[in-house]
Amino acid sequence: MSIALSIGFMPLVDAAPLIAASEMGFAREEGLDLRLERAPSWSTLRDMLAFGGVEAAHMLSPVPVAMALGLGGVSVPLSAVSVLAVNGDVIGVSRALAERMRAQGFGFDFSDAVAARAALRAAAGAGLRIGVPFPFSMHAELLHYWLSEPGAPAIDIRTVPPPLMAEAIAAGEIDAFCVGEPWGSIAVETGVGELLLPGAAIWAFAPGKVLAVRSDWAAREEETLGRLMRAVWRAGRWLDRPGSRTTAAEILARREHLNLPAEVIDRALSGRLTISSRGDARRVEGFVEFHAGAASFPWRSQAAWIARRLAKRAGQDPQAATARARGVFRTDLYRRLLAGTGAEMPGASEKLEGTIEADTPAASESGRLVLRRDRFFDGRVFDLSVPD
């Protein structure tokens, strides 16, 4: 008899590993019956998981860290047992703002974060209003990191659920946004916005979403958790194959999942994005990663980077926050429960973030691990052993 599990998700391309695990039979092969529940907002999804409405969830990577730091009003301990997707976000601007940037000579190359920041600041001036899906999100962290330069005017970050981002731009409630695909592309499709940068232009290998469970459930149901993690890992491996993308886009497009045209979803999966209503297109290598480069491995250093930044803005001690965060990204469970699947197991559980310029071999159990580019746009390196 199959074990029924309720899994919460938001309608985003980076929910693909969970959706594919259910639709392509990977969960069934593990003896699971996944019951996917679409949430209207990230706060709702967080609460669904925290208070027992679902057993696991597609979750913004900073949320379990923020909860461990006592931020956000909900403090139920969560474990990030794997990364569901790396990257997959876009930064976009209103058409009016795009026109001002273009009038000043900006070429919308979709790659140069330094030039894009200067052009955005010059065109927007003070009081830039930017929509993000949730305060504790990689979207917000990337924007703070990118725009909070010394002497720069403050940015007004506002929370807008992903499916409503295009409407918020159209209504003039925000001037720009950072959101997971396909909702940036929907702003382009409806003619209300243009795309400025992929999130990967700010941090080339940012852990956007994780597979999150309650920590007490993980301890109590480890065998079931292992089945779920194996199914999701196999789904991520399947998604990584170029021949799977058309099928994946069609599955994600279904009414019960994203309920959007498959062609728009395929742009994110292929990295071929249309950035304006004029049809301007840009190709982004590794726009969203589900498997390659140990993409699903929950590096403790990634959790530490998130924790340090959250702690600074909240006035908490960064070192204490780092210590708490390192236990949230569960490399121990990943190593134990995915043993024997072929999942790459790095030789260490943390690394220097921001040092890899090109694909680089790394120590691993198999000896075949190649890590992907992970540079920050400003060339900084994050070493969690060094106090700020």
218: enclosing H helix or E strand: helix 215-220
Dihedral sign computed on CA atoms, order 357, 85, 32, 76: positive
pTM score, whole prediction: 0.97
Q: Are strands 156-159 and 129-132 parallel, antiparallel or unpaired?
A: parallel
Phi and psi, residue 381, nearest 5°: -120, 135
pLDDT value of position 387: 76
Q: b vs e for 50-78, b when ≥16 Cβ sit within 10 Å of the residue's Cβ? A: beeebbbbbbbbbbbbbbbbebbebeeeb
Strands (E) in 259-352, as ranges, are 272-274, 281-283, 288-289
| CA atoms of 82 and 345, how far apart (whole Å) | 12
The 3-state DSSP class for residue 272 equals strand
Angle, helix 16-23 to helix 222-239, in steps of 10 degrees: 100
| CA atoms of 365 and 291, how far apart (whole Å) | 17
pLDDT value of position 291: 97
pLDDT value of position 243: 93
pLDDT in tens, the chain (388 residues): 899 999 999 999 999 999 999 999 999 999 999 999 999 999 999 999 999 999 999 999 999 999 999 999 998 999 999 999 999 999 999 999 999 999 999 999 999 999 999 999 999 988 899 999 999 999 999 999 999 887 788 889 999 999 999 999 999 999 999 999 999 999 999 999 999 999 999 999 999 999 999 999 999 999 999 999 999 999 999 999 989 999 999 999 999 999 999 999 999 999 999 999 999 999 999 999 999 999 999 999 999 999 999 999 999 999 999 999 999 999 999 999 999 999 999 999 999 999 999 999 998 988 899 999 999 999 999 998 887 6
